[in-house]
A = this chain, B = another copy of it.
Amino acid sequence: MLQLANLIGPDLRAALDDDPEGLREVLVDMHPEELAEIIEDLGDMESVELIRLMGPDLAADVLQRLPPDRQVDVMESLEADEAAELLSEMDPDDRVDVVQELTDDHAELVLAALQRAEPEAAEEIRELVHYPPESAGGLMTTDVISLPPETKVWQAIERVREIAHAEDPETIYYIYVCAYGGKLMGVVSLREMILGDPGQTLAELMNPKVVRVEATDDQEVVADTIARYDLPAIPVVDEHERLLGLVTVDDVVDVVIEEATEDAQKMGGVVPLEDSYFATSFLEFVWKRGAVLVVLFMGQLLTATVMEANSALLAQTMTLVIFVPLILSSGGNTGSQSAALVIRAMAVGEIEPSEWYKVLVHEVAMGLCLGLILGSMGFVRGYIAHGEEEALHLGVAVGLSTLCVVSLGATLGSVLPLATRRIGLDPAVSSNPLIASLSDVLGLTIYFAVAGFVLHVVF
């Protein structure tokens, strides 16, 4: 008897050659997710042999769980007819995702084969392909059950049964009530129908206040709406309120995870990746990280200019220079904290756009408070650095500068995300590196101003 552990390495090769039927039995007994994870690590040839062995139904389920780059590999290794058969077994939303990953020529080839086998599915893909993958339209499935309002509950249950047998819709638990022409009027759950009076019409039973999204809405809007109202599924309509499809909450989990990853990458100062870490090419990494670093580096060149401009002061009091990295990093660290807090609070809706002044006041106050703590530590370190009669001067200069630069960091860390949202950009582009770099340039100017003032004017 073949075991799961045999599905790797030379044993797999042997099983494919010697006992394909035994292997098939093992495959159909496994969870599609596990099969997908095995295929992910196989070469193209073995992948395709396994896919063929498991039959189109299971293969379709496995294929839609593969990462996009592997989907393309598999699709390209199959004959167009085989690829079309796999597609026809998939859910409409996953089908479109796969086709969108293919090259245009290859997509046309597969679609032509699908057109011959199942013209409706091919048409549907051609329609759905128009929606950007990250929109409600790109996310939705069109396999949705809609019934007219005058349908009786018992008729509706019968229809659901028929449709479920014939078409295998994504969910049969939500039935959308649509007027002639497709305008969305309400929603009824299968649960309400089963518990309700069979003689009632759907119009009587339905909930007419359906939370909905438009097909052109961004996937983030879909995720936020589903999360906000705790919905199991949300209908997607066009600009005339006509039902186009639905998005289920399990698709939204993936969206939420994807958006969190994008935000984390932006905050880390990387242009968000299209693919997974290992599927992204070295060159793409160089571009998506290098572009940001080069821009920041050019900004940071200002620090050298500020230092040059103050070289007279530096030469006079060499001890000043030894505190530059300490003071600058305190500002950057505080800014990084403020940015993380403010950006996430905005992302989850805890901070409304109208509350920007509350946030600003809070962060400035916080900066002063944290600045006092770090400033006192800076004072002590500055004081003992010299050990001569200038000790007090230097202590005050370092302490006061730390206070100012930490306050500056907190202010920048909140103002920048607030401002980027104000001008319509994603607050997460106010990345940590950007805030740290700005805080460095301004912090250095502050340091020299404060230190020059304390050392030469006050004393």
* A contact set with B: CB distance below 8 Å: 31, 33, 65, 157, 160-161, 164-165, 172-173, 190-191, 194-195, 209, 211, 223, 226-232, 248-250, 252-254, 256-257, 260-261, 263-265, 267-270, 273, 276-278, 282, 285-286, 289-290, 292-294, 296-298, 300-301, 303-304, 307-308, 311, 314-315, 318, 321-326, 328-330, 332-334, 336-337, 339-345, 347-348, 350-351, 355, 358-359, 362, 365-366, 369-370, 373-374, 377-378, 381, 385, 406, 431-433, 436-437, 440, 444
Main secondary structure of the interface of A (DSSP, over half): helix
Note all chain B residues with C-beta closer than 8 A to A209: 31
Could you say which of A261, A268, A285, A374 has the most chain B C-beta atoms within 10 Å of its C-beta?
A268
Note all chain B residues with C-beta closer than 8 A to A444: 325
When chains A and B are docked, how far (Å) is the Cα of A164 from the Cα of B190?
Answer: 12
Note all chain B residues with C-beta closer than 8 A to A340: 264-265, 267-270
With A268-B340, A330-B300 as contacts: A350 and B276 at CB distance below 8 Å: yes
With A164-B194, A268-B341, A341-B277 as contacts: A333 and B286 at CB distance below 8 Å: no
Note all chain B residues with C-beta closer than 8 A to A370: 286, 289-290, 293
Evaluate contact between A323 and B336: CB separation under 8 angstroms. no
Copy total for this chain = 2
Residue of B nearest to A280 (CB): B341
Evaluate contact between A304 and B385: CB separation under 8 angstroms. yes
When chains A and B are docked, how far (Å) is the Cα of A256 from the Cα of B249?
Answer: 12
Known contacts A252-B253, A293-B333, then 20 further A-B pairs from the complex at CB < 8 Å, ordered by chain A residue: A31-B209, A33-B228, A157-B194, A173-B190, A227-B254, A232-B232, A257-B260, A282-B365, A282-B369, A289-B370, A293-B330, A293-B334, A293-B374, A294-B373, A297-B326, A300-B329, A304-B381, A304-B385, A307-B325, A324-B325
